[in-house]
């Protein structure tokens, strides 16, 4: 991903805010960490995937920041002078995980990079985190990298196009990750097998390319299963991958609450039929679960698109990730 890496590095040089998007396992986190290491930048990484479901409090956010800063030697140096921070032998601790401490720390990140990985999760925060990002953007010389797998949801959280939103009008740099092309995916796998000292299994690699659609995380998973776990059956790898995808799906569907059976039904028909038209989806859901108003179905489809789970194509709606499609067919 040399091009994407150069682009991200350029973004970090040109802009205070960089947004990295791409679906799950497209390589966002790896790319961000690689770029920051190559730039030898001091950064703090907030892994927003650790925020479980439900509304978030300041204390949850402060916990992420505390965790991200804990192992950072550059922070120990400034921590002494920040009110409310206790420096310990192993890491640092916030005396209170409250708004003041959070802001006190964020304000001291001058010259550093703040990474908000999977930032769409922050939309559930009671504290209007978008306003806090805008405040840092305007007043503190800190660079901010925001990433998100649920691309539509991320942009709805950032609201960069909404004149009434805190981040409106702030220039930012966009890096969009796509799946690897078939050629690059093949090259990636062959190189990986060679590095592991294994003869690249040509035929199996072609089958894996059919199955995993250029998603670098799944390709890596396949290579790992083959070289480290000595698994030679692609079906076995697919089953293992699908279990992971299924867990994540369940997590994502938690937020849909009582709507869950309907969301599940939409995914089910898309998994079984591939590309499906709006009216077919409606017919299927109504046959299974009773009447569904047009607006409700539209809203649900839009949510699934915002989460990156499905996409709309000329042929109809489809599940984006082939592994997820398999998981839905088998387990949902």
Tell me which residues touch ligand ADP (CB under 6 A). 1, 22, 24-30, 149, 216-217, 220
Q: Residue 206 is encoded by which pair of tokens?
A: 């072609």
Q: How far is the CB of 25 from ligand ADP (least distance, A)?
A: 5
CB 193 within 8 A of CB 200: yes
With respect to ligand ADP, which residue has the nearer C-beta, 45 or 137? 45
Q: How far is the CB of 53 from ligand ADP (least distance, A)?
A: 19
- The string of DSSP letters for 124-165 reads GBTT-HHHHHHHHHHHS--EEEEEESSHHHHHHHH-TT-TTS
CB 266 within 8 A of CB 300: yes
Q: Which residue is nearest to Mg ion (CB)?
A: 29
Q: How far is the CB of 188 from ligand ADP (least distance, A)?
A: 7
With respect to ligand ADP, which residue has the nearer C-beta, 31 or 92? 31
Our CA dihedral for 69, 73, 77, 78, rounded to 10 degrees, sits at -20
Q: How far is the CB of 31 from ligand ADP (least distance, A)?
A: 6
**Could you give the CA distance from residue 117 to residue 144 in angstroms, rounded to a whole number?**
10
Q: Residue 252 is encoded by which pair of tokens?
A: 């994502």
With respect to ligand ADP, which residue has the nearer C-beta, 29 or 153? 29
Strand pairing class (85-87; 92-94): antiparallel
With respect to ligand ADP, which residue has the nearer C-beta, 158 or 175? 175
**Which residues touch 44 (CB under 8 Å, ≥6 apart)?**
65, 68, 69, 72, 75, 109, 112, 113, 114, 115
Q: Look up residue 179 and give its DSSP letter.
A: P
Q: How far is the CB of 137 from ligand ADP (least distance, A)?
A: 23
**Residue 27: contacted member of ligand ADP, Mg ion, none (CB under 5 to 8 Å, by partner type):** ligand ADP
- The string of DSSP letters for 213-268 reads TT-HHHHHHHHHHHHTS----HHHHHHHHHHHHHHHHHHHHHTTGGGHHHHHHHHH
Q: Residue 272 is encoded by which pair of tokens?
A: 């079984």
**Which residues touch 276 (CB under 8 Å, ≥6 apart)?**
269, 270, 284, 316, 317, 318
* Residues lying near Mg ion in the complex (CB under 5 A): 29
With respect to Mg ion, which residue has the nearer C-beta, 32 or 58? 32
With respect to ligand ADP, which residue has the nearer C-beta, 27 or 166? 27
**Residue 25: contacted member of ligand ADP, Mg ion, none (CB under 5 to 8 Å, by partner type):** ligand ADP
35 burial (CB, 10 Å; 0-12 / 13-18 / 19+) is buried
**Could you give the CA distance from residue 70 to residue 136 in angstroms, rounded to a whole number?**
21
**Residue 220: contacted member of Mg ion, ligand ADP, none (CB under 5 to 8 Å, by partner type):** ligand ADP
The SS3 assignment for 291 reads coil
Q: How far is the CB of 7 from ligand ADP (least distance, A)?
A: 13
With respect to ligand ADP, which residue has the nearer C-beta, 15 or 21? 21
Q: How far is the CB of 281 from ligand ADP (least distance, A)?
A: 28
With respect to Mg ion, which residue has the nearer C-beta, 15 or 29? 29
Q: How far is the CB of 280 from ligand ADP (least distance, A)?
A: 31
């Amino acid at each position: 991903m040399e091009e994407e890496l150069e682009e991200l590095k350029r973004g970090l040089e040109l802009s205070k805010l960089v947004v990295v998007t791409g679906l799950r396992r497209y390589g966002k986190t790896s790319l961000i960490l690689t770029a920051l290491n190559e730039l030898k930048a001091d950064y703090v990484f907030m892994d927003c995937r650790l925020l479980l479901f439900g509304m978030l409090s300041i204390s949850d956010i402060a916990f992420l920041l505390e965790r991200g800063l804990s192992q950072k030697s550059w922070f120990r140096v400034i921590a002494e002078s920040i009110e409310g921070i206790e420096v310990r032998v192993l890491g640092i601790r916030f005396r209170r995980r409250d708004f003041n401490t959070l802001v006190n720390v964020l304000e001291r990140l001058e010259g550093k990079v703040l990474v908000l990985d999977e930032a769409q999760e922050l939309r559930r925060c009671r504290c209007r985190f978008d306003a806090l990002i805008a405040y840092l953007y305007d007043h503190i010389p800190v660079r901010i990298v925001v990433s998100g797998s649920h691309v539509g949801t991320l942009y709805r959280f950032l609201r960069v196009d909404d004149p009434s939103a805190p981040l409106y009008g702030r220039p930012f740099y966009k890096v969009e990750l796509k799946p690897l092309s078939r050629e690059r995916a093949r090259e990636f796998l062959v190189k990986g097998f060679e590095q592991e000292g294994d003869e690249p299994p040509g035929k199996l690699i072609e089958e894996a390319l059919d199955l995993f659609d250029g998603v670098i995380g799944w390709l890596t998973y396949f290579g790992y299963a083959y070289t480290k776990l000595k698994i030679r059956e692609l079906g076995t790898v697919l089953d293992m991958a699908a279990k992971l995808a299924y867990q994540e799906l369940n997590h994502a569907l938690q937020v849909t609450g009582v709507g869950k059976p309907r969301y599940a039904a939409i995914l089910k028909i898309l998994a079984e039929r591939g590309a499906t038209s709006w009216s077919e989806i409606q017919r299927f859901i109504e046959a299974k679960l009773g009447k569904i108003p047009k607006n409700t179905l539209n809203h649900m489809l839009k949510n699934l698109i915002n989460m990156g789970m499905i996409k709309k194509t000329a042929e109809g709606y489809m599940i984006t990730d082939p592994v997820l499609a398999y998981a839905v067919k088998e387990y949902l």
